[in-house]
C-alpha cells in the first residue's frame, strides 16, 4: 500500500513539474506559433517552434510495424531503402495468442523501431471491437470481446511507451465499419457503449497510460467523434481524467469552431493545404472574430507540451531506439508461433512428420503470397516476409520434393488497386469507405481459374500429402472497404472440395484477418488451421506448426460464424449502414449473442486445439489482496509439451433481462511439459456472489463449474 502511495505521489510530482515547464513555455508562445503546433504541417508531422526549442511531433502508422516514409506533402513513398522494417503479426493474430507477455514484447518492438526511425507517436494499437466479421479493418483489431482486447492492449501500449514513443490508441470510438466511415452516425445505447465499445479505451488510457488517442471518423449519437462532448469531455477528460493528446483521424475534422471548442488537440489530414486545415488559418480568423477564445488553443498546446515532456523531447535523456534487430525478428516469430489456431485435427492427422515427408504438394495462392504492403494505413515495407511456401521448404530442406501449384488466383485488377498509395488522399471523396462486392464477371478469368483448379485437383491425386493454403488477402481485409458476405473469394470453395475429394489427406489452411464461410467443405476436412497476417516470420511459424516443431496454442479471439447472417450486427442490428447504423443488438455482440440466442458457430470464441490434451481439476475460488481468483489444477495428458489458455467465464445464476449468459472475465496461458501438472491462478474481473464461474478451454468447452461462495 505504502509503495503504491509513494508511486502515485511521485507521479503527481512529476506531472506537476511537467505542467509548470509546459506552462512556462506556453506563456512565451505567440498565437501563430501555438496554432502551428495544433495541426499537421506535413502529412505526418506538426510544425516545430525553433525559437523556443520545441520540436515537431513526428507520427507514423501503424500497428504492424513502422510505415514507410512519405513525401511531406504527397502520398508518395520517398522510395528510399532505409525504411524497411520489422513486420509484426497483425493485432488479430496477437489476440489469438492470448498472451500478455507477447503483447508487451510486440509493443516494445514497435516502440523501439518507431524511436529508431525517429518517430514520436505511433498510430496504434487499434482497439475497436469486431462487431461484424465483415469489417475490412478487423485484422487491425484484437477481438469481439472487450476483456480480451484490453488485457492485451494494455501491455502492448506499455511496451511501446517504454521507448519514449507515444502509443495512439484508435479509433475512439464505435468505429466498427469502413462503409461511409466519415459520415456514418452510430446509434448505440449507453450500456452497450460502456460495456462493449469503451472498456478497451478506458484501460488503454487509465492502465496502459496511452499518451495519445485518435478520435474516430464516424459520428456517435449525431455528433462527430472529433468534437463529441459526451465522448471527449464527459467520458475521456472528466470521468477517465485523461491529460494526454487527442489527435483527429486523418481528414476527420469538418468544422473549425466545433474542433476548437472541443477536447481535440491536433488536427491531421490527408491534403497538402496545411495552412487551410480547420485548426490552421481558419481558426486564427475565428479567434480574431471572437468566435473562439484563445484559451481554447492554450489548452491544446498545454497537452502537446506535456506529451513532449513525457517523451523527453524538451530536454533530458531520450531513448535512441533501433530497428531491424535480431531481437525484433525473434519477437515477431514468437508472436506468430502462438497465433496459429488449430481448428480441427481429426484422428491426429497433424502434425506431419518432416522425416517421413519425401514429397508434398502445396496448393493455393496464399502459400506464395506476401501481404505486408497491403491493407491500408497498416501497410508495412517489410525487411522480408517468409511466405508459407518458403517456410515449408526451409523446414523440410532439400531432401523433400515440394511441388507448388497455384490452384486459384486473385483478379489481376485487384493487385493494382491494392498497391495504390494515393488511396488515402482519395478516400475522403467517397465517404471514406464502401462495401466491396465480390467477383467481377470475366470469362477469361473464369477460364483461367478453371484450368488452375483442374490442374491442382489432378495433381492432388498423385501425392500422398497435400497442403492447401488459401483464404483472404488485403484486397478484402483492408481499410476503406467492408466485405458484403463471408464467402471465400476466387472460387476457392470449388477448389477445396475438389482437393478433398481427390485426396482426403489434404490439410486445409486459411490465412486472413477475418473468418470465411467454410460450410461447403469443413466436414470433409480432417485437419484445418487458421493463420492470420503473421508478420515477417509468419510462414516459418506456420510451417513449424504443420510439422510439429511448434505445438499450436492459438485460440480464436472471435466467433467464427457459419455465415455473417448468424452475427447479431446483421441479424438484429444494421451493418453496414451508410448514413446511420443502429446497434440494435446492444451488448449481444459475438459469443454474447450466440450463447443467449442459440446460434451455432462454425468454431466458437476461445476455440483452439493442441497436439496434446489438458485436463482440468480442482477448481476453487479465493480472495487475495482484495482480488478474486479462480484456482485450478491443469495437467498435460499427452507426450508433448504445450501451452493451454485457461479461460474463465462468469455467468449470472439468475440472469436479468439484457444480461449476457456468460462473459470472459479472466484467462491465463500456461506452459506444461509432457505429463506435467500445475496449479493455475486466474484473476477474475467483476466477480460477485450469485455468479457461476465457468472454467474451460473455450467458451463452449467448459470443463469445471463453480457456483457460490468462498
Ligand atoms: C486511418 C488511421 C491512420 C491514418 C494515418 C487513416 O486513414 O483511419 O488509422 O492512422 O489514416 O495514416
Residue 17, C-beta contacts closer than 8 angstroms, at least 6 positions apart = none
Residue 168 CA: nearest ligand 1 atom is: 10
Residues 201 and 342 in one domain: no
Q: Which residue has a Cα nearest atom 2 of ligand 1? A: 249
Residue pLDDT, tens place only, 98-122: 999 999 999 999 999 999 999 999 9
Distance 249 CA to ligand 1 centre (A): 6
Residue pLDDT, tens place only, 335-349: 999 999 999 999 899
Distance 514 CA to ligand 1 centre (A): 20
Residue pLDDT, tens place only, 267-300: 999 999 999 999 999 999 999 999 999 999 999 9
Does residue 13 carry a pLDDT above 90?
Answer: no
Does residue 698 carry a pLDDT above 80?
Answer: yes
Q: Among residues of the chain, what percentage have pLDDT more than 70?
A: 96
> Residue 417: what pLDDT?
58
Considering 249, 477, 526, 595, which one is annotated as catalytic?
249
Residue pLDDT, tens place only, 140-176: 999 999 999 999 999 999 999 999 999 999 999 999 9
Residues 242 and 348 in one domain: no
Does residue 492 carry a pLDDT above 60?
Answer: yes
Residue pLDDT, tens place only, 71-97: 999 999 999 999 999 999 999 999 999
Residue 562 lies inside a defined structural domain of this protein: no
Residue 404 lies inside a defined structural domain of this protein: yes
Paired with 706 in beta bridges are: 693
Pairing state between β 691-698 and 642-652: antiparallel
- Answer for the pair 453, 498: CB distance below 8 angstroms, yes or no: yes
pTM of the model: 0.96
Query: For residue 607, which phi and psi values (nearest 5 degrees)?
Result: -75, 145
Residues 189 and 57 in one domain: yes
CATH code: domain of residue 281: 3.20.20.300
**Tally of domains within the chain:** 3
> Residue 436: what pLDDT?
75
Residues 532 and 626 in one domain: no
170 Cβ below 6 A of ligand 1: yes
Question: Which residue has 480472495 as its cell numbers?
Answer: 623
Distance, in Å, from the CA atom of 165 to the CA atom of 65, rounded to the nearest integer, reads 13
Q: Annotate 213-224 with b (16+ C-beta within 10 A) or e (fewer).
A: bbbbbbbbeebb
- 601-604: list long-range contacts, CB under 8 Å, 24+ apart: 601/559, 601/560, 601/561, 601/562, 601/566, 602/515, 602/518, 602/519, 602/522, 602/560, 602/561, 602/562, 603/343, 603/556, 603/559, 603/560, 604/556, 604/559, 604/560, 604/698, 604/699, 604/700, 604/701
Residue pLDDT, tens place only, 631-653: 999 999 999 999 999 999 999 99
Distance 478 CA to ligand 1 centre (A): 12
Residue pLDDT, tens place only, 187-223: 999 999 999 999 999 999 999 999 999 999 999 999 9
Residue 698 lies inside a defined structural domain of this protein: yes
> Residue 709: what pLDDT?
62
Residue 597 lies inside a defined structural domain of this protein: no
Residues 158 and 265 in one domain: yes
Mutate which of 40, 62, 71 to test ligand 1's pocket (most atoms within 8 Å of Cβ)? 62
Mutate which of 249, 253, 428 to test ligand 1's pocket (most atoms within 8 Å of Cβ)? 249
424 Cβ below 6 A of ligand 1: yes
Residue 158, C-beta contacts closer than 8 angstroms, at least 6 positions apart = 104, 107, 208, 209
Residues 109 and 200 in one domain: yes
Residue pLDDT, tens place only, 392-439: 999 999 999 999 999 999 988 887 654 555 778 877 777 888 777 666
Distance, in Å, from the CA atom of 107 to the CA atom of 88, rounded to the nearest integer, reads 10
Distance 62 CA to ligand 1 centre (A): 8
Residue 7 lies inside a defined structural domain of this protein: no
365 Cβ below 6 A of ligand 1: no
Distance 250 CA to ligand 1 centre (A): 6
Q: What residue numbers bound the domain in which 21 lies?
A: 12-310
Residues 271 and 209 in one domain: yes
Write down the mean pLDDT value for the chain.
95
40 Cβ below 6 A of ligand 1: no
Residue 483 lies inside a defined structural domain of this protein: yes
Distance, in Å, from the CA atom of 666 to the CA atom of 628, rounded to the nearest integer, reads 10
> Residue 6: what pLDDT?
57
533 Cβ below 6 A of ligand 1: no
Residues 539 and 470 in one domain: yes
249 catalytic? Reply is: yes
Which grid cell sits at 274?
A: 496545411
Residues 281 and 418 in one domain: no
Residue pLDDT, tens place only, 424-437: 887 777 788 877 76
What is the gyration radius of the CA atoms in the chain, in angstroms?
25
Nearest to 243 by CA among 223, 225, 265: 265
Q: Which residue has a Cα nearest atom 3 of ligand 1? A: 377
Residues 296 and 372 in one domain: no
Query: For residue 11, which phi and psi values (nearest 5 degrees)?
Result: -60, -45
CA diameter of the chain? 80
Residues 105 and 196 in one domain: yes
Distance 315 CA to ligand 1 centre (A): 30
Residue 642 lies inside a defined structural domain of this protein: yes
Residues 440 and 376 in one domain: yes
Residue 453 lies inside a defined structural domain of this protein: yes
Amino acid at each position: 500500500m505504502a509503495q503504491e502511495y509513494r508511486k502515485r505521489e511521485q507521479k503527481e510530482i512529476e506531472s506537476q513539474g511537467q505542467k509548470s515547464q509546459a506552462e512556462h513555455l506556453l506563456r512565451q508562445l505567440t498565437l501563430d506559433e501555438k496554432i502551428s503546433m495544433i495541426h499537421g504541417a506535413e502529412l505526418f508531422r506538426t510544425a516545430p517552434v525553433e525559437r523556443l526549442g520545441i520540436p515537431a511531433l513526428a507520427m507514423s502508422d501503424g500497428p504492424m510495424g513502422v510505415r514507410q516514409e512519405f513525401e511531406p506533402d504527397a502520398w508518395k513513398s520517398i522510395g528510399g531503402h532505409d525504411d524497411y522494417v520489422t513486420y509484426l503479426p497483425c493485432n488479430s493474430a496477437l489476440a489469438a495468442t492470448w498472451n500478455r507477455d507477447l503483447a508487451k514484447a510486440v509493443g516494445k518492438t514497435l516502440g523501439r523501431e518507431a524511436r529508431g526511425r525517429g518517430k514520436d507517436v505511433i498510430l496504434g494499437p487499434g482497439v475497436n471491437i469486431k462487431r461484424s466479421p465483415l469489417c475490412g479493418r478487423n485484422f487491425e483489431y484484437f477481438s469481439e470481446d472487450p476483456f480480451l482486447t484490453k488485457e492485451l492492449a494494455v501491455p502492448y501500449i506499455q511496451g511501446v511507451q517504454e521507448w519514449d514513443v507515444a502509443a495512439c490508441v484508435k479509433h475512439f470510438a464505435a468505429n466498427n465499419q469502413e462503409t461511409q466511415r466519415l459520415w456514418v452516425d452510430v446509434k448505440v445505447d449507453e450500456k452497450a457503449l460502456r460495456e462493449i465499445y469503451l472498456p478497451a479505451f478506458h484501460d488503454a488510457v487509465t492502465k496502459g497510460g496511452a499518451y495519445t488517442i485518435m478520435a474516430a471518423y464516424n459520428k456517435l449519437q449525431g455528433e462527430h467523434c472529433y468534437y463529441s462532448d459526451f465522448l471527449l469531455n464527459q467520458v475521456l477528460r472528466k470521468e477517465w481524467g485523461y491529460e494526454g493528446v487527442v489527435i483527429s483521424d486523418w481528414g476527420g475534422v469538418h468544422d473549425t469552431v466545433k474542433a476548437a471548442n472541443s477536447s481535440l488537440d491536433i488536427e491531421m489530414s490527408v491534403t497538402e493545404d496545411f495552412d487551410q486545415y480547420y485548426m490552421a488559418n481558419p481558426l486564427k480568423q475565428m479567434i480574431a472574430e471572437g468566435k473562439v477564445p484563445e484559451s481554447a488553443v492554450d489548452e491544446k498546446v498545454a497537452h502537446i507540451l506535456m506529451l513532449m515532456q513525457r517523451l523527453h523531447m524538451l530536454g533530458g535523456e531520450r531513448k535512441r531506439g533501433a530497428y531491424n534487430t535480431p531481437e525484433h525478428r525473434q519477437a515477431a516469430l514468437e508472436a506468430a508461433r502462438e497465433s496459429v489456431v488449430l481448428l480441427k485435427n481429426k484422428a491426429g492427422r497433424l502434425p506431419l512428420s518432416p522425416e517421413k515427408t519425401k514429397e508434398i504438394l502445396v496448393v493455393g495462392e496464399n502459400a506464395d503470397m506476401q501481404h505486408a504492403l497491403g491493407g491500408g494505413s497498416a501497410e508495412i515495407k517489410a525487411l522480408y516476409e517468409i511466405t508459407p511456401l518458403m517456410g515449408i521448404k526451409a523446414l523440410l530442406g532439400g531432401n523433400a520434393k515440394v511441388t507448388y501449384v497455384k490452384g486459384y488466383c486473385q483478379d489481376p485488377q485487384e493487385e493494382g488497386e491494392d498497391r495504390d498509395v494515393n488511396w488515402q488522399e482519395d478516400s475522403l471523396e467517397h465517404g471514406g469507405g464502401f462495401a466491396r462486392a465480390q467477383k467481377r464477371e470475366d470469362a477469361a478469368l473464369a477460364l483461367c481459374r478453371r484450368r488452375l483448379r483442374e490442374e491442382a485437383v489432378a495433381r492432388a491425386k498423385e501425392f500422398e500429402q497435400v497442403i492447401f493454403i488459401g483464404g483472404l488477402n488485403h484486397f478484402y481485409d483492408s481499410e476503406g472497404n467492408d466485405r458484403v458476405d463471408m464467402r471465400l473469394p476466387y472460387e476457392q470453395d470449388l477448389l477445396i472440395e475438389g482437393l478433398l475429394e481427390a485426396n482426403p489427406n489434404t490439410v486445409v489452411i486459411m490465412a486472413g484477418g477475418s473468418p470465411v464461410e467454410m460450410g461447403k467443405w469443413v466436414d470433409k476436412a480432417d485437419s484445418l488451421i487458421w493463420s492470420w497476417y503473421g508478420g515477417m516470420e509468419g510462414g516459418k511459424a506456420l510451417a513449424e506448426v504443420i510439422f510439429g516443431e511448434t505445438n499450436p496454442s492459438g485460440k480464436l479471439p472471435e466467433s467464427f460464424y457459419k455465415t455473417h447472417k448468424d452475427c447479431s450486427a446483421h441479424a438484429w442490428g444494421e451493418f453496414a449502414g451508410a448514413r446511420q447504423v443502429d446497434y440494435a443488438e446492444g451488448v449481444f455482440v459475438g459469443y454474447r449473442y450466440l450463447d443467449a440466442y442459440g446460434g451455432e458457430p462454425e468454431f466458437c470464441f476461445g476455440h483452439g486445439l493442441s497436439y496434446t490434451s489438458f485436463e482440468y481439476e480442482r477448481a476453487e475460488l479465493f480472495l487475495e489482496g482484495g482480488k478474486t481468483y479462480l484456482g485450478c489444477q491443469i495437467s498435460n495428458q499427452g507426450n508433448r509439451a504445450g501451452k493451454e489458455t485457461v479461460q474463465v467465464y462468469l455467468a449470472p445464476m439468475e440472469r436479468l433481462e439484457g444480461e449476457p449468459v456468460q462473459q470472459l472475465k479472466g484467462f491465463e496461458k500456461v506452459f506444461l511439459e509432457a505429463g506435467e501438472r500445475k496449479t493455475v491462478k486466474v484473476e477474475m474481473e467483476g466477480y460477485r456472489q450469485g455468479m457461476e464461474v465457468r472454467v474451460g478451454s473455450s467458451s463452449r468447452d467448459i470443463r469445471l463449474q463453480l457456483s457460490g461462495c468462498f
